[in-house]
């Protein structure tokens, strides 16, 4: 008998298949694993001990690309995760924690008028942050994250858990994505935001490498 296990955590869901070696004519774990991967598609980012940051690092290395990150609400968590992977210096160029509006203007070149019109937590500012860190660093791709981790700072239109991730790989290679994380405290929202940013980068790298 092969047992299916599903284990949820704040950042991911782990699926496991356990059982004895397959008897002749029986469905094997390998066959079920292949079927599970087919059904789940690109939701699956790794196997065994792979982490999101190690997968992203491998993809960057394979494509010989460099990365620069501009973080606001995550406060350096993305950079920490990336640099926990041995050999990250070959693809991580720099990580800037631009927490205040002034830092976003001075370090990333985000227009102050953009901040006044849209607020720091917005798709427009996330896009400008990603573009700014890429252009100023000369890295192949820039990634940004800005959001409201809570418990304070929220408004009716911008609740706790609202996060924008930006990615800029040059002309025609820019995107932003909105996330709304619920049911977590400040730490959990930061963790989920870092995972969302790395996953957006992973999907872009897979598409670029095709």
Tell me the per-residue pLDDT of 148-174, one tens digit each, with 9 for 90 and over. 999 999 999 999 999 999 999 999 999
pLDDT of 24 higher than 60: no
Question: Residue 146: what pLDDT?
Answer: 98
Distances (CA, A) of 36 to 2, 16, 32, 41, 101: 13, 10, 6, 8, 45
Q: Count Cα atoms within 13 angstroms, Cβ side, for 210.
A: 5
pLDDT of 119 higher than 60: yes
Is the bond preceding 198 in cis, omega lying within 30 degrees of 0? no
Query: Please, what is the average pLDDT of the chain?
Result: 94
Q: Please name the residues in contact with 19: beta carbons below 8 A apart, sequence gap of 6 or more.
A: 1, 2, 3, 29
Question: Residue 25: what pLDDT?
Answer: 55
Write the burial class of residue 103 (CB in 10 Å: 0-12 exposed, 13-18 middle, 19+ buried).
middle
Query: Contact at 8 Å (CB) between 166 and 129?
Result: yes
Does this model's pTM top 0.85? My answer is: yes
Q: For the chain, give the longest Cα–Cα distance.
A: 69
Q: How far is CA 94 from the centre of its chain?
A: 16
pLDDT of 22 higher than 70: no
CA angle 209, 69, 53 (to 5 degrees): 55
């Amino acid at each position: 008998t092969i047992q299916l296990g599903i284990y949820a955590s704040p950042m991911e869901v782990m699926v496991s298949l356990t059982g004895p070696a397959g008897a002749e004519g029986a469905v094997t774990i390998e066959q079920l694993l292949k079927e599970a991967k087919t059904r789940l598609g690109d939701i699956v980012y790794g196997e065994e001990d792979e982490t999101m940051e190690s997968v992203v690092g491998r993809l960057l290395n394979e494509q010989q690309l460099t990365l620069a990150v501009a973080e606001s609400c995550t406060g350096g968590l993305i950079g920490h995760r990336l640099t926990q992977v041995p050999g990250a210096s070959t693809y991580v160029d720099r990580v800037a924690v631009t927490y205040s509006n002034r830092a976003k203007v001075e370090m990333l070149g985000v227009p102050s008028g953009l901040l006044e019109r849209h607020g720091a937590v917005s798709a427009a500012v996330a896009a400008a942050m990603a573009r700014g860190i890429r252009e100023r660093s000369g890295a192949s791709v820039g990634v940004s994250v800005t959001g409201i981790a809570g418990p304070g700072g929220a408004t009716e239109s911008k609740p706790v858990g609202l996060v924008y991730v930006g990615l800029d790989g040059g002309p025609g290679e820019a995107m932003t994505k909105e996330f709304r994380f619920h049911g977590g405290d400040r730490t959990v929202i930061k963790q989920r935001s870092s995972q969302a940013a790395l996953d957006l980068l992973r999907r872009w790298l897979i598409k670029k490498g095709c």
